[in-house]
Amino acid sequence: MKDTATPHIPVVIVGGGQAGMSTAWCLQQQGIDCIIFERHAKFHSWRVNRWDSFCLVTPNWQCRLPDFHYDRDYGGTDPDGFMLKDEITDYLDAFAAKVQPDIREGVEVTRVTPEDGGFAVQTSIGRWTCDQVVIATGGYDTPIEPGYAKDLDPSIFQMHSVDYRNVDQFPEGGVLIVGTGQSGVQLMEDFTRAGRDVHLAVGPAPRSPRKYRGRDATDWLHDAGHYAITIDTHPDPVKALTQTNHYMSGRDGGKEIDLRRFHVDHGVELYGSLAGMAGTRVDFLPDLTKNLDDADRSYVGIRTQIDAHIARQGIDAPEEPPFKKVWTPEAERTSLDLAEAGIGSVLWAIGFRPDYSWIEADVFDDRGKPVHHRGETPFRGLHFIGLGWLNTWGSGRFLGIEEDSRHLAGRIAAQLAGRRELVGG
């Protein structure tokens, strides 16, 4: 006997960020009913989990939500600028006003279970069933801190970047920032601007030029077709999927981040990757020189790629001098006593990991990553959206969400039509 007490809807979307909202819009255009469950409030991560000085790293023109491009539909007036946190949420709120989805905020999805050819979705407000599920929660569920963080002397203040808002949250004294992805290097600049004593554990993240030969590097790369490369055609897909994002900044109209120059100009002390800690002592790997050189190699490689595009197209663009290192470590320090160095705080900026433990379907590899092709998993009706390299570099960013959500909505429509034909037959 069919359960008539449990509400049923064709598609449940889990997550009310830009990926979930974009999918809801595209499903609407297909005439497909859906509901969004968001455990916080829509765009919570942008509104709450960002620091005060946060701004986009990619130019505003890359904000291309479906049928809501920054300059074409939203009416943005600074396509080459970098929106600040409040400007980003204004853009997102305007998109939500256009979509007007059926969204239930403050509702947590605790379990997704295959059932009767569809899915049972258990939430904090009760049980629902659906034909298709879209997981749009992203990969930022659990802040990463190494196990040895608990071995640090309790007199040393610790915070993860997810909780960081401004320098005033930290006690007086120096700070050790761990991680040199986009977050780590931008928080480093926050502390240097405040005149704080900054120590930085430098990881293997690559870096990118900002402006090069008269344009933003991302403009050149877009024109060269770099962002159109799919994971299926990428020459090194494993590297693409595992590499940390290139670091640069959108602050003050956009700038490069050269850690060597921060050492020379601002006195930032640089160390290799963090290896362990106990009491007030921290240990580093002897890989600072390698990590700096690898980051510069990536930087120069992007410049070379742009040079090749300019030459192929016969573009008249200003020349720039070759890259030169402004500083090279003479020796690498592999241990440090925080108390002796006057360091009273550690700021963790080493990322997040997803939590999919509530999804009861065999669609994950041995690392816990979802197995999919352009968001479609081998389990019919279960999909993901908003992940890095779902299809292209822009998939986890504003640039690629339009293409990804339109494609996924089309695949969902096809699957629903196929199921209806099967049932009707």
Rg, Å, the chain Cα set: 23
Q: Using one digit for the tens of pLDDT, what is the confidence trace for 67-84?
A: 999 999 999 999 999 999
pLDDT, average across residues 302-328: 98
Q: Using one digit for the tens of pLDDT, what is the confidence trace for 141-191?
A: 899 999 999 999 999 999 999 999 999 999 999 999 999 999 999 999 999
- Say whether pLDDT at 121 is over 80: yes
Report the alpha-carbon distance of residue 77 to residue 60 in Å, rounded. Answer: 9
Q: Using one digit for the tens of pLDDT, what is the confidence trace for 384-418?
A: 999 999 999 999 999 999 999 999 999 999 999 98
How far does Cα 135 stand from its chain's mean position?
16
Q: Residue 388 has what pLDDT?
A: 94
Beta bridge partners of 111: 122
Give the domain ranges of the chain. Answer: 8-141+354-424, 143-348
Strands (E), 136-224: 142-143, 157-160, 174-178, 198-201, 211-212, 215-216
Q: Does domain 8-141+354-424 have CATH number 3.50.50.60?
A: yes
Q: Using one digit for the tens of pLDDT, what is the confidence trace for 180-229?
A: 999 999 999 999 999 999 999 999 999 999 999 999 999 999 999 999 99
- Say whether pLDDT at 422 is over 60: no
Report the alpha-carbon distance of residue 314 to residue 145 in Å, rounded. Answer: 49
Identify the DSSP state of 207. Answer: B
In whole angstroms, how far apart are CA 70 and each of 65, 95, 201? Answer: 8, 10, 36
Q: Residue 1 has what pLDDT?
A: 42
Report the alpha-carbon distance of residue 401 to residue 270 in Å, rounded. Answer: 36
Strands (E), 98-221: 103-105, 109-115, 118-123, 126-135, 142-143, 157-160, 174-178, 198-201, 211-212, 215-216
Identify the DSSP state of 55. Answer: B
What confidence category does residue 425 fall into, taking pLDDT thresholds of 50, 70 and 90? very low
